[in-house]
Amino acid sequence: MKRTLTVLVVLVVLSAALFAGGSSESATASGAPVYKDTIVFGTGSDVTSLDPHIGKESAAVVVTNHIYDTLVDIDLDTGTIIPQIAESWEVVSPTEYRFHIRKGLKFHNGEDLTADDVKFSLDRAIATPAVAYLVDFIDTVKIEDDYTVFVTLDAPYAPCLRNLAVPYAAIVPKDYVSANPDILKTAPVGTGPYKFVSWTQNDSVVLEAFDDYYQGAPLTKNVKMKVIPEASQRTIALQTGEIDIAYDMTTNDMKIIRDDKNLIALEQPSLTCFYISLNMNKKPFDDVRVRQAINYAIDRDLLIETVNNGAGQAADNIIAPAVFGYYNVGAYEYNPEKAKALLAEAGYPNGFSCTLWVNNNQQRVEMCQAVQAMLKDVGIDCKVEILEFGAFIQRSSAGEHDMAYFGWFTSTKDGDYTFYSLEHSSQQGPAGNRSFTHDPQVDALVEKGRQTTDEKVRLETYKELAEVLKEMSNNVTVLYDTMRVGTTNKVKGFILDPIGYHKLQKVQVTK
């Protein structure tokens, strides 16, 4: 109840900030507020790639989501599918969709968007390992005319439209990319509300409003993403006015933000599960008893109470409770004696040495350091290694890690998005399966869940899958977290996205 009341108070304060005038605002002689020409937001990690079919991590998507559009979108208020590049569509059959492309759309380089670009983009995404899992349910994409594409699926797939709304199913310009397949990594061109200006690695990305955007030009001329790895420094930057919005905040810093009358704290349950991926291609993680021992060695409730300051809940499933397909199999109990017994049974009575990788995010590092201490109590000598985010993703995709700490958003709110990418044997490496599991039973259940449109059958399938995965313990699910963002009270129109892909084209900041 206390947390609920806190959120309600925050929402009331936010509403007041959005709709009431304030003495901190600059105003014209007529009393109208004067707005800044640039929104600056701070993140904990740098962009990995500005190519939407490669840079799928949240640090990249919060930027590229403004540069590119997708065939369809999801309304944040209702959760329904709404038109974007496709102004309408027809479900011809369970495996056939016809999309009517909006006429008059232009890419930032002046090229017209046509059906050629849509087919090229979907085919390219299917062929790109990092995001193929999102669209590889598509069998063929055929062009019927300049503004119509006919998409055939290889089997009925219930989340089809939701997957096509995820930012890394973006539509890119065929001619521009065909001339240089790597061009989008550093010189992106899309049809979104903002166009790319510059990227200074490990420092910032600058975007400028696209005046020809089909929904109208954004309210603020420029957007700047500033890389500030430590959350405490993002809080200071928020207090000093260096940034207007701070993403991915820690619970400690949210307390500071709440206590500052010039700042606003925004929180809500996210669709994120934080987990430790155990590389089953390496010993001793190929032994299920070792993997289960690690699960029993971790006190999830204590991690939440201390490192996370009471925010979130212990995770038992790789998908969060708000995701379709979630089934509560019960989190592993904290039982260090059982962990020791399993290690001894597996041939490690004195434990073993290993590494736990984590990217350079303060909250995640602290979580791993706490896990390190718990593992030491059962004889596992675990060294925490902190990597720059890009290197962390690249090297864990290559399978170089022993254990690695990840956060995963179920961007479509459908369990298939996560189960397929993290658990199916075809998705090992960049797509997400960094435990390198390759289990026929898991594969069969994942495939059954994605190929039937009967929701009851899907729920039963995902229940069985959750039970199998808990027994397998290829991933150590730790906690379901909350989305935490801080803003100054000069920010108007910001809407918190539970996935974390916050959009800024309707946001303004008073001077």
**pLDDT of 333 higher than 80:** yes
What pLDDT was estimated at residue 465?
Answer: 98
Band (pLDDT 50/70/90 cuts) for residue 27 is low
What pLDDT was estimated at residue 24?
Answer: 46
pLDDT digits 0-9 by tens, 401-414: 999 999 998 988 89
What pLDDT was estimated at residue 14?
Answer: 41
What pLDDT was estimated at residue 452?
Answer: 86
Band (pLDDT 50/70/90 cuts) for residue 32 is confident
Phi, psi of 166 (to 5 degrees): -70, 135
Band (pLDDT 50/70/90 cuts) for residue 23 is very low
How far, rounded to the nearest angstrom, does the alpha carbon of residue 485 sit from its chain's CA centroid?
15
Q: How is domain 270-481 classified at the CATH fold level?
A: Dipeptide-binding Protein; domain 3 (3.10.105)
**Mean pLDDT, residues 242-267 taken together:** 94
Say which CATH class 2-65+192-262+489-509 falls into: alpha beta
Band (pLDDT 50/70/90 cuts) for residue 30 is low
Residue pair 419/465 in contact by the 8 Å Cβ criterion: yes
**Mean pLDDT, residues 229-251 taken together:** 94
**Mean pLDDT, residues 56-65 taken together:** 92
Give the Cα separation of 445 and 431 in Å (integer): 19
Band (pLDDT 50/70/90 cuts) for residue 25 is low
Residue with tokens 């009393």: 31
**pLDDT of 12 higher than 60:** no
**pLDDT of 26 higher than 70:** no
Band (pLDDT 50/70/90 cuts) for residue 431 is confident
Q: Output the CA–CA distances (angstroms, integers) from residue 107 to 83, 110, 174, in the order listed.
A: 18, 5, 11
Q: What is the mean pLDDT of the chain?
A: 92
- Quick check: bond before 284 cis, omega within 30? yes
Least confident range from 6-15, 37-46, 61-70, 302-311: namely 6-15
Give the Cα separation of 290 and 293 in Å (integer): 5
**pLDDT of 19 higher than 50:** no
**pLDDT of 17 higher than 70:** no
How far, rounded to the nearest angstrom, does the alpha carbon of residue 293 sit from its chain's CA centroid?
29
What pLDDT was estimated at residue 5?
Answer: 36
Residue 223: partners with Cβ closer than 8 Å, 6 or more residues away? 38, 39, 40, 41, 66, 194, 206, 207, 504
**Mean pLDDT, residues 256-275 taken together:** 94
Global pTM reads 0.77
**pLDDT of 206 higher than 60:** yes
**Mean pLDDT, residues 394-399 taken together:** 95
Which CATH number applies to 72-185?
3.90.76.10
What pLDDT was estimated at residue 411?
Answer: 85
Q: Output the CA–CA distances (angstroms, integers) from residue 412 to 61, 132, 163, 284, 322, in the order listed.
A: 14, 15, 6, 34, 11
Band (pLDDT 50/70/90 cuts) for residue 460 is very high
**pLDDT of 371 higher than 80:** yes
Residue pair 450/250 in contact by the 8 Å Cβ criterion: no
Q: What is the DSSP string of 15-60?
A: HHHHHS--TTS-B-TTS-B-B-SEEEEEESS--S-S-TTT--SHHH
Partner residues linked to 223 by β-bridges:
39, 207
Running DSSP on this structure, what letter comes out for residue 299? -
**pLDDT of 368 higher than 60:** yes
Partner residues linked to 356 by β-bridges:
384, 403
Instruction: Give me the amino acid identity at 383.
Output: K
Domain boundaries of the chain, sorted by first residue: 2-65+192-262+489-509, 72-185, 270-481
Band (pLDDT 50/70/90 cuts) for residue 219 is very high
Residue with tokens 């030009």: 217
What pLDDT was estimated at residue 29?
Answer: 60
Band (pLDDT 50/70/90 cuts) for residue 28 is low
**Mean pLDDT, residues 295-307 taken together:** 96
